[in-house]
Amino acid sequence: MEYLIHLAVLFSIFSILALSLNLVVGYTGLLSLTHAAFYGIGAYVTGILMVGHGANFFVGLGAGVLAAMLLALPISMVLAKFRGDYYALVSLGFNVIVFSVLLNWQAVTQGPLGIPGILRPELFGLVFSNSFAFLVLALILAAGVYWLSQAIVSSSFGRVLKAIREDEEALGVFGYRTQTYKLVIFVIAAAMAAVAGALYASYTSFIDPHTFTVSDSIFMLAIIVLGGLGSLRGAAVGALVLVLLPEILRFVGFTPDIAAQMRLVVYGIILILLMHYRPQGLMGEYRL
């Protein structure tokens, strides 16, 4: 039972990441490889505030979201200059830079040692210390993100995003400020990723920079490419499949070391096969 709850918590966290990344990649057509950076900012701000300053989890979460949004704004302004594979490359660069900061700004982040002893959330004397209570919280937040994403993509704002994906120039001719739309959705997605980061920090109670690398951004991309670009349900399905996959590999009997690498082999093969046979993913509507 504990094990199932553990998987469900992971699923909630990765659903949030996939849903938010899908808003940027799947709906707006911007191939961002920097999502793990905002995930990391959320986790670190929450962790530092809770451990260093005894703040409440929800205060940490709010501050983490705010920090991620403040960081996403200039990043997205720089990214606005690029398209296609240059966009992917520069966004990847930002992930590397944020990772370097987490790793090297030791006075604040404690570098490679990470931040241990992050507590579980507490609200009005109610402590989410047992796993089930935590799962409920994680699911509520994931559902909230799903609902918000749904509201965004079905609004007129969301339709403009899809139009940007299909033909940004034509939309510009109609008088839409496409840069503003891209900026706003990027910042919203960063805020959602920070929520996932805060949950992760509190759940595992220990964070270090190596959870927030370029490879993790690639993993998030694999989730939504598998599930389907431009599909919210697809993002959730992709998260489910790729969270369960390593567990299956473990049951097959690989040692943990090999299983971790086998997981990457499988992700890689999935990406290659999808690009060949189903570039829109399982339930998606958009091909890169």
Partner 1 sequence: MEIVPQLVLNSIIAGSVYALVGMSVSLTFAVTRFFNLAHGAVAAVGGYSVLYLAKTLGLNLGLAVVLGIAAAAATGYVLERLIFRPLRTRQASSMMLLVASLGAFTVLQALLAILFTSQFQSLSGLAPAGSLHVAGAAITIVQLITLLVAVLVLVGFWLVLTRTRFGKAVRAISDDEEVANIVGINTHRMIGYVFLLCSGVAGVAGILVGMDTGLEPTMGLSLLLKGVIAAIIGGVGSIYGAFLGAFLLALVENLGVWQISGEWKDALAFGVLILFLLFRPQGILGKRP
Question: Which residues in this chain contact partner 1 in the complex, by CB under 8 A?
Answer: 31, 78, 81-82, 84-86, 88-90, 92-94, 96-97, 100-101, 103-104, 214-215, 218, 221, 225, 257-258, 261-265, 267-272, 275-276, 279, 287-288
Q: How far is the CB of 59 from partner 1 (least distance, A)?
A: 30
Of residues 63 and 221, the one with the C-beta less far from partner 1: 221
The rounded distance, in Å, linking the Cα atoms of 237 and 249 is: 18
Parallel, antiparallel or unpaired: strands 122-123 and 126-127: antiparallel
Q: How far is the CB of 86 from partner 1 (least distance, A)?
A: 7
Distances (CA, A) of 234 to 13, 223, 230, 242: 15, 9, 8, 12
Q: How far is the CB of 170 from partner 1 (least distance, A)?
A: 18
The residue assigned the tokens 């200039």 is 74
Of residues 221 and 240, the one with the C-beta less far from partner 1: 221
Of residues 136 and 272, the one with the C-beta less far from partner 1: 272
Question: Can you list the alpha helix ranges (DSSP code H) found in the chain?
Answer: 2-22, 35-53, 57-79, 84-104, 106-109, 131-153, 156-173, 178-204, 214-227, 232-252, 256-277
Of residues 97 and 123, the one with the C-beta less far from partner 1: 97
The rounded distance, in Å, linking the Cα atoms of 234 and 285 is: 10
**Measured on CA atoms in the order 265, 96, 119, 73, is the torsion positive or negative?**
negative
Of residues 126 and 272, the one with the C-beta less far from partner 1: 272
The encoded tokens of residue 102 equal 């987490």
> Are 275 and 220 a contacting pair, CB within 8 Å?
no
Of residues 66 and 271, the one with the C-beta less far from partner 1: 271
Q: How far is the CB of 265 from partner 1 (least distance, A)?
A: 5
Q: How far is CA 253 from the centre of its chain?
A: 29
Backbone φ and ψ of 137, nearest 5°: -60, -45
Of residues 136 and 265, the one with the C-beta less far from partner 1: 265
Q: How far is the CB of 18 from partner 1 (least distance, A)?
A: 15
Torsion of CA 39, 132, 254, 222, to 10 degrees: -30
Q: How far is the CB of 258 from partner 1 (least distance, A)?
A: 6
Q: How far is the CB of 143 from partner 1 (least distance, A)?
A: 29
